[in-house]
Amino acid sequence: MKHVLVTGGAGFIGFHVVNKLLENNCRVSSIDNLNSYYSPKLKEDRLSVIKKRFQSNYNFIEGDITQDNFSNTFSKEKIDIIIHLAAQAGVRNSIQNPKPYILNNIVGHFNIIELARKQKVKHLLSASTSSVYGGDRRPPFSEFANANLPIQLYAATKRANEIVSHSYSAMFNIPTTMMRFFTVYGTWGRPDMALFKFVKSIQDGNPVELYNRGNHSRSFTSVEDISETIIRLLDKPPMLIDRGKEIDIVSAPYRELNIGNRKNENIKDFIRLIENCLNKKAKVKMLPLQKGDVEESSCDPTQVESLTGYKIERSVETEIPKFIEWYKDYYELK
């Protein structure tokens, strides 16, 4: 039985990944600091759902990966795989409140790769972001595109993590996959994410803020597709290919993978779908393009789909109604 450590295990993606791992008969340890960036109650409720579903093979630890003694928690444990999802989230918040992003995203990530080194894990999978592509104007984005010019701090910390991970992978032979997620949405989502905010605003009769006057488009990706893809990547670590004296740019068992939906959605169409599901018209407040934001974020998932044999294609037409059903049930709305 694989022992998998999931950081950020009470978070949005972490919750879905932990459930999927336990369904696949893995032994799971998850760690989360349950911070107050958004409602700790939502995180605690996610944990309650997991504990009710699974009575064994699951251990939750309330802890902080930024602490120097963090790895002591696992000194007597053998971890086979690490899925590192813990981070200070929020692109827009990183503009106003940058310091936590350095601590949580860079220091925290360093502590995780140190743990991976000490434990000699079989595979380290770590969350990155499509935001690393910055102002690239040549979508859909491929992993071969330049990702060295991020335009906000959140993306910069994630790109820094990719570079540091490559160096550790090269020095210590740590099989590492950096997962560039594209606009994840779904049930049990974060209140600061687009779908949650739009549904809440329309439901409550408050204005929906549309930056760039609604001329954004995104590769909205169901959290179900994200978690299924991660499960399929567990036993597919990158390999260092020895080609003797032949010149080869592959210098480490390391890779970066886009994980996102190939189909791109316009934000205005996205909102129209929510309006139809709620049977309510949105009050829209048009705003200019926000600093650090990009007009289009479009995914080319060719590599990850080839690796896993799994096609990322759940549609907003099927997934938005599921979210709204969850939202109304969770908040006990009619």
Q: 184-234 pLDDT, tens per residue?
A: 999 999 999 999 999 999 999 999 988 888 888 999 999 999 999 999 999
- Whose tokens are 């996959």? That residue is 177
Q: Is the pLDDT of residue 135 over 80?
A: no
Enter the DSSP assignment of 36: S
Return the higher-pLDDT residue of 245 and 38.
38
The region, left, alpha or beta by phi > 0 then psi within -120 to 50, assigned to residue 60 is: beta
> Do 46 and 9 contact (CB within 8 A), yes or no?
no
Average pLDDT over residues 293-301: 87
Enter the DSSP assignment of 67: S
Which active-site residues does the annotation give?
Answer: 154
What does the alpha-carbon distance between residue 97 and residue 106 come to, in Å, rounded to a whole number? Answer: 15
List C-alpha distances in Å: 90 to 81, 101, 103: 26, 9, 14
Q: Is the pLDDT of residue 247 over 50?
A: no
Return the higher-pLDDT residue of 108 and 248.
108
Dihedral sign (CA 32, 190, 164, 182): positive
Partners of residue 296 on adjacent β-strands = 217
Q: Is the pLDDT of residue 137 over 80?
A: no
pLDDT value, residue 25: 96
Given 3-state DSSP classes, what are the helix, strand and coil percentages for the chain, each rounded to the nearest 5?
45, 20, 40
Tell me the angle at which helices 316-330 and 267-278 cross, rounded to the nearest 10 degrees.
Answer: 50
pLDDT value, residue 332: 93
Percent with pLDDT over 90 in the chain: 77
Other Cβ atoms less than 10 A from the Cβ of 250: the count is 13
pLDDT tens per residue, range 313-323: 999 999 999 99
Average pLDDT over residues 243-263: 78
Predicted confidence band of residue 243 (pLDDT cuts 50, 70, 90): low
Q: Are strands 58-62 and 217-218 parallel, antiparallel or unpaired?
A: unpaired
Residues in the chain, how many? 334
pLDDT tens per residue, range 11-21: 999 999 999 99
Where do the domains of the chain lie?
Answer: 3-182+221-262+298-314
Percent with pLDDT over 70 in the chain: 96
DSSP alpha helix (H) spans, the chain: 12-23, 40-53, 91-96, 99-101, 108-119, 153-172, 194-204, 223-233, 267-278, 302-308, 316-330
- Whose tokens are 């020895």? That residue is 242
At the fourth CATH level, the homologous superfamily of domain 3-182+221-262+298-314 is NAD(P)-binding Rossmann-like Domain (3.40.50.720)
What does the alpha-carbon distance between residue 63 and residue 66 come to, in Å, rounded to a whole number? Answer: 9
Enter the DSSP assignment of 122: S
pLDDT value, residue 71: 87
Give phi and psi for 179, each to the nearest 5.
-100, 110
